[in-house]
């Protein structure tokens, strides 16, 4: 996609959202059905993913790990955002790779020690790019990518999360 095409595609949306800020608020939703054993099936709209236990918690590795899925969502969002930002800046990215990795201490997940937190201790996001632009321009593209990557910003600035339970009939 060319810079002009992206701008033409997004301009009416930006104008609409400026005139109607509430129209820019959309609720995204994911739903999972509890599967057999210790599993949950999530329909992504493009594929059905069955998540299960990571091998470090007793899984056999045949099902997706939710931690991996979080990192995959981060890499995907950062990659799409990078492409959009580069396009908006007129930067031709010939090749690129986005790598998201994170460290987990499974003692927390398994309740081995109460002192060990549950969740990622650290997440790292790395961009590898091939382009003719100078380092300063690429650094600006990456900075803007960081600013507008929804998943990255959600992880960095965690919103309040509510949990509820409803009995099924």
pTM: 0.86
Distances (CA, A) of 16 to 10, 34, 57, 58: 10, 39, 48, 50
Q: Which pLDDT tens digits describe the chain residue by residue (169 residues)?
A: 888 998 898 889 999 988 998 988 888 777 777 777 777 888 887 888 999 989 999 989 899 999 999 999 999 999 999 999 999 999 999 989 999 999 999 999 899 989 999 999 999 999 999 999 999 999 999 999 999 999 999 999 999 999 999 998 8
Dihedrals φ, ψ of 126, to 5°? -125, 135
The predicted pLDDT at position 125 comes to 94
Closest CA to 49 of 67, 69, 77: 69
The predicted pLDDT at position 69 comes to 93
**Rounded to whole angstroms, how far apart are CA atoms 71 and 126?**
12
Give the pairing type, strands 39-43 and 32-34: antiparallel
> Torsion angle, CA of 85/74/44/103, rounded to 10 degrees?
170
Q: Which domains does the chain have, with CATH numbers?
A: 3-14+65-156 (3.30.300.20)
**Rounded to whole angstroms, how far apart are CA atoms 40 and 64?**
10
Closest CA to 118 of 55, 66, 62: 66
The predicted pLDDT at position 118 comes to 93
């Amino acid at each position: 996609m060319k810079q002009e095409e992206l701008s033409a595609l997004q301009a009416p949306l930006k104008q609409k959202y400026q005139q109607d800020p509430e129209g820019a608020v959309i609720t995204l939703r994911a739903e999972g059905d509890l599967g057999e054993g210790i599993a949950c099936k999530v329909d992504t709209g493009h594929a059905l993913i069955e998540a299960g236990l990571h091998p470090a918690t007793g899984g056999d590795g045949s099902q997706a790990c939710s931690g991996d899925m979080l990192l995959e969502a981060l890499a995907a969002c950062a990659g799409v955002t990078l492409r959009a930002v580069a396009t908006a800046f007129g930067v031709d990215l010939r090749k690129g790779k986005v790598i998201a990795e994170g460290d987990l201490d499974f003692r927390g997940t398994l309740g081995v020690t109460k002192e060990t937190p549950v969740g990622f201790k650290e997440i790292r996001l790395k961009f590898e790019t091939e382009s003719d632009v100078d380092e300063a321009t690429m650094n600006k593209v990456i900075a803007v990518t960081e600013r507008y990557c929804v998943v990255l910003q959600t992880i960095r600035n965690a919103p309040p999360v509510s949990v509820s339970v409803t009995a099924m009939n």
